[in-house]
């Protein structure tokens, strides 16, 4: 299967590293936003064609699908262009930065019948899969999901230390991970949502600190703390407080409440969540089925983000 990688930044590199471990997939083109960086990525990963024109990348012979690792504000428009070109699409989280654009992506998917998947990687991390399997079997009941999402981003730079042409967002990007995960693990839509945020950055124009609370009808709650001001351990940490144990997940690793490691190496065919999400995308295309984390499945999380945005507006 030949694909086009869209984007040349940090997450495009993460996907390209993952794709190198998946048999039967070839990156035929990379379509980036900055020519110098796109050319360098093509050379690093031995990609035969590079361009800054998305349509040119999609038109390379044999290309069946695209992975969008481009700036968030471009996701919805690019996803529509990919599907209108007759190609399947995986969209790096989030699929859009507004509910209206997310609804448009889902509508185009329904119209075209192509596979449209969002890289909600938390669904695929072995640590979260381990917990999910035990919730599904009835061994665990989630009572409280506590999440800390902390970065130090007082300048507009990406994870590779390169200047960004767009501005990241705590709600529409980073909170999206946890909102979707909480709804996925409980199988419910929040009945109550609440959000608070700190003052906007004078140059970036975004809130640098945020607090989010969710509750579902069964009684489970989620507490999410986010910051771009944190100059300490970086990343996202999840604490699952359940009726039958406490578990702490950090990406693909898992420990119990006593910090004892839990072996999750047998949960799936890889210990890399991004690789596992990519594998699901290609499997869904080959098998002609809806993938886990399809755009349609993830739309409910976008609706919750929209409710949270309205909650923030009501207290501003």
Measured CA to CA, the distance from residue 185 to residue 69 in angstroms comes to: 26
The model's pTM is 0.94
On whether both 25 and 129 belong to a single domain, the answer is no
On whether both 108 and 163 belong to a single domain, the answer is no
Give the range of the structural domain holding residue 176, as residue numbers without chain letter: 122-268+301-315
On whether both 239 and 134 belong to a single domain, the answer is yes
Cα atoms in the Cβ-side hemisphere of radius 13 Å centred on 230: 16
On whether both 200 and 278 belong to a single domain, the answer is no
How many structural domains does the chain have?
A: 2
Q: How far apart are the first and last CA of the chain?
A: 49
Measured CA to CA, the distance from residue 4 to residue 55 in angstroms comes to: 10
pLDDT in tens, the chain (316 residues): 999 999 999 999 999 999 999 999 999 999 999 999 999 999 999 999 999 999 999 999 999 999 999 999 999 999 999 999 999 999 999 999 999 999 999 999 999 999 999 999 999 999 999 999 999 999 999 999 999 999 887 776 666 666 766 667 899 999 999 999 999 999 999 999 999 999 988 888 889 999 999 999 999 999 999 999 999 888 899 999 999 999 999 999 999 999 999 999 999 999 999 999 999 999 999 999 999 999 999 999 999 999 999 999 876 5
On whether both 39 and 172 belong to a single domain, the answer is no
Measured CA to CA, the distance from residue 210 to residue 300 in angstroms comes to: 21
**Residue indicated by tokens 């471009």:** 74
């Amino acid at each position: 299967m030949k694909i086009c990688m869209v984007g040349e930044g940090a997450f495009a590199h993460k996907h390209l590293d993952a794709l190198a471990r998946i048999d039967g997939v070839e990156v035929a083109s990379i379509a980036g936003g900055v020519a110098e960086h796109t050319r360098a990525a093509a050379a690093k990963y031995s990609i035969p064609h590079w361009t800054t024109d998305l349509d040119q990348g999609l038109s390379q012979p044999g290309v069946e699908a695209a992975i969008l690792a481009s700036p968030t504000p471009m996701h919805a428009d690019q996803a529509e262009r990919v599907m209108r070109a007759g190609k399947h699409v995986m969209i790096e989280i989030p699929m859009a930065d507004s509910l209206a654009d997310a609804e448009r992506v889902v509508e185009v998917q329904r119209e075209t019948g192509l596979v449209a998947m969002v890289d909600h990687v938390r669904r695929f991390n072995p640590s979260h899969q381990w917990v999910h399997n035990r919730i599904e079997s009835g061994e665990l009941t989630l009572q409280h999901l506590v999440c800390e999402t902390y970065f130090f981003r007082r300048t507009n730079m990406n994870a590779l230390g390169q200047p960004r042409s767009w501005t990241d967002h705590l709600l529409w990007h980073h909170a999206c991970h946890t909102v979707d995960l909480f709804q996925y693990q409980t199988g419910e839509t929040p009945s109550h949502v609440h959000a608070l945020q700190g003052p906007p950055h004078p140059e970036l124009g975004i809130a640098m600190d945020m607090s989010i609370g969710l509750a579902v009808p069964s009684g489970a709650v989620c507490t999410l703390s986010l910051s771009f001001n944190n100059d300490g351990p970086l990343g996202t940490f999840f604490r699952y407080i359940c009726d039958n144990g406490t578990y702490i997940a950090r990406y693909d690793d898992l420990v119990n409440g006593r910090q004892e490691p839990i072996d999750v190496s047998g949960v799936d065919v890889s210990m890399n969540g991004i690789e596992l999400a990519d594998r699901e995308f290609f499997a869904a295309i080959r098998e002609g089925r809806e993938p886990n984390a399809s755009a349609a499945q993830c739309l409910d999380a976008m609706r919750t983000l929209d409710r949270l945005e309205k909650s923030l507006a009501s207290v501003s």
